[in-house]
Amino acid sequence: MGARRSTAPRRRKVPRALSGPAGYLFTAPALAIFAVFTILPTIYTLYISLFKWNSLNISRSRFLGLNNYQELFTENDFPVSALNSLYFTVAMVIGGTAISLVIALLVQRAGRWFAATRIAVFTPYVTPLVATSIAWIWILNQKFGLLNLALSVVGINGANWLLSPTWAMPSVIAYSLWHEVGFTTIVFLGGLSVLSPELGEAARVDGVNRWQEFWYVTWPQLRPVTVFVITITMIMSLQAFTQFYAMTQGGPGTATTTVSVLLYEQIATRTGYGAAIAVVLFIVTAALTLIQRKTSRPSAIAI
């Protein structure tokens, strides 16, 4: 009787050169760049946030401890900007995820037009933020904008979109969805391309309709992709600055003043206070990244 062969998968051996000191040598340039341009500036920003910083004469900076962080929550500007950031982020996560998933499902069924539609969907994402923001300023212009012109055709008086406290944030959200949805759509397309077709075929044989197939078969398999899309959208939304500054500069009033805009406004005159805002924003972003790593487990779905 022959010996029974082991069916346990063999672990791939890592070359000794890569697991030893030579491996660290190969990664040293990348680690050095990361340390110089990311780790050290982060530590320095944390240091500055503890002072009433004098940028012109550093020796005259005064240590405040956590006073700058206390001011964040006692003054009115940071809570208002945090609520604006939350509003923008929630809209981008819910709207962006839903729209990009629907577009991905439609593009997947485009057949021979698949490549062309994929390029058309992704194109806005690679356009410059400043240039397209300026284009959208003209589209949303009250007197000469294409949007109000189209609304006037059906008898609707358009608003002064970017100068209205009510409509300024929704206008920036609309632009941001147009610009960013292409990226998340491509991510969803990557997830859809590696789903198991056998599960869908078996479900259709059992008599399920398209909605049931999506909800009980397609959607559960897309969970890692969805978590990634939600997390990356939250991070990009919290850090969004260019479109706000180009389109509204945080106005009217504080209607579109997000945390990133407030950081820009404060860092020149109140450097320590601005650094405290940057540290809080970094902590929130790092926490979201850790959550994404914890909730995304290794899966057969690849992005």
How many domains in the chain? Answer: 1
Question: What mean pLDDT do residues 231-237 have?
Answer: 93
Does the residue 12 lie in any domain? no
Identify the band that residue 114 occupies on the pLDDT scale cut at 50, 70 and 90.
Answer: confident
CATH number at residue 268: 1.10.3720.10
What pTM did the predictor assign? Answer: 0.85
Q: Can you give the residue range of the structural domain that contains 223?
A: 75-295
Does the residue 60 lie in any domain? no
Does the residue 193 lie in any domain? yes
111 has a pLDDT exceeding 80: no
- The residue assigned the tokens 């022959």 is 2
Enter the tokens of residue 86: 């939350």
The confidence score (pLDDT) of residue 254 equals: 94
CA atoms 114, 118, 119, 121: torsion sign: positive
Enter the tokens of residue 102: 């629907």
Of 43-57, 160-174, 186-200, 240-254, the least confident? 186-200
**Pick from 116, 96, 113: nearest CA to 232:** 96
Does the residue 302 lie in any domain? no
The confidence score (pLDDT) of residue 302 equals: 39
The confidence score (pLDDT) of residue 16 equals: 56
Identify the band that residue 13 occupies on the pLDDT scale cut at 50, 70 and 90.
Answer: low
C-alpha–C-alpha distance, residues 16 and 33, integer Å: 25
303 has a pLDDT exceeding 50: no
pLDDT in tens, 115-150: 788 888 999 999 999 999 999 999 999 999 999 999
Does the residue 41 lie in any domain? no
Of 111-115, 158-162, 290-294, the least confident? 111-115
Does the residue 53 lie in any domain? no
Query: Which secondary-structure segment (H or E) carries 51?
Result: strand 51-52
C-alpha–C-alpha distance, residues 170 and 163, integer Å: 12
Does the residue 68 lie in any domain? no
More confident residue, 5 or 162: 162
Report phi then psi at 51, rounded to 5.
-125, 160
C-alpha–C-alpha distance, residues 30 and 188, integer Å: 30
The confidence score (pLDDT) of residue 184 equals: 95
Does the residue 47 lie in any domain? no
C-alpha–C-alpha distance, residues 270 and 27, integer Å: 38
